């Protein structure tokens, strides 16, 4: 039974990844990488959105993070016990359709021009 559940989660993950890929098709500079235990999409060299088995990781900027947390639509991303100010997790179970997924992708794309690129490793 456990293998079936894991297999179903991977299918959902791949389906959501495919939907995100379709939503980013008109962006000129999209790169995909495996990071944060999921599949991440970088736009213009900056982390934009990631999908793992259960969540969407959205980079939406501090002001929007505060708003979405207050509305109860997301939860704060924590790294090493500290809040990552520009990121939230959204449970895939709470995204019931393409319109809701598009809402989060749009927020990520709106913030992308202001986001800072990660420093390149030497």
Task: With a cut of 60, say whether residue 3 has pLDDT above it.
Answer: no
Q: What is the CATH number of the domain that holds 38?
A: 3.90.1150
Does 60 map to a domain? yes
Does 120 map to a domain? no
- The answer to whether residues 108 and 61 touch, using CB atoms and an 8 Å cutoff, is no
Summarize pLDDT for 29-85 with one digit per residue, the tens. Answer: 999 999 878 899 999 999 999 999 899 999 999 999 999 999 988 998 878 788 889
The residue range of the domain holding 100 is: 2-15+25-111
| 98-111 and 2-23 helices, crossing angle to 10° | 60
State mean pLDDT over 96-111.
Answer: 95
Does 7 map to a domain? yes
Contacts of 50 (CB under 8 A, 6+ apart): 35, 36, 38, 39, 40, 41, 56, 57
Domain count, the chain: 1
Does 118 map to a domain? no
Q: What is the pTM of this model?
A: 0.85
């Amino acid at each position: 039974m456990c293998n079936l559940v894991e297999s179903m989660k991977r299918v959902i993950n791949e389906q959501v990844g495919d939907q995100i890929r379709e939503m980013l098709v008109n962006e000129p500079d999209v790169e995909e990488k495996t990071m944060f235990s999921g599949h991440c999409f970088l736009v213009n060299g900056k982390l934009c959105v990631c999908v793992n088995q259960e969540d969407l990781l959205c980079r939406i900027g501090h002001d929007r993070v505060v708003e979405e947390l207050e509305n109860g639509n997301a939860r704060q991303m924590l790294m090493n016990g500290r809040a990552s100010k520009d990121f939230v997790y959204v449970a895939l179970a709470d995204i019931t359709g393409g319109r809701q997924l598009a809402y989060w992708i749009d927020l990520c794309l709106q913030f992308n021009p202001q986001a800072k690129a990660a420093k390149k490793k030497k």
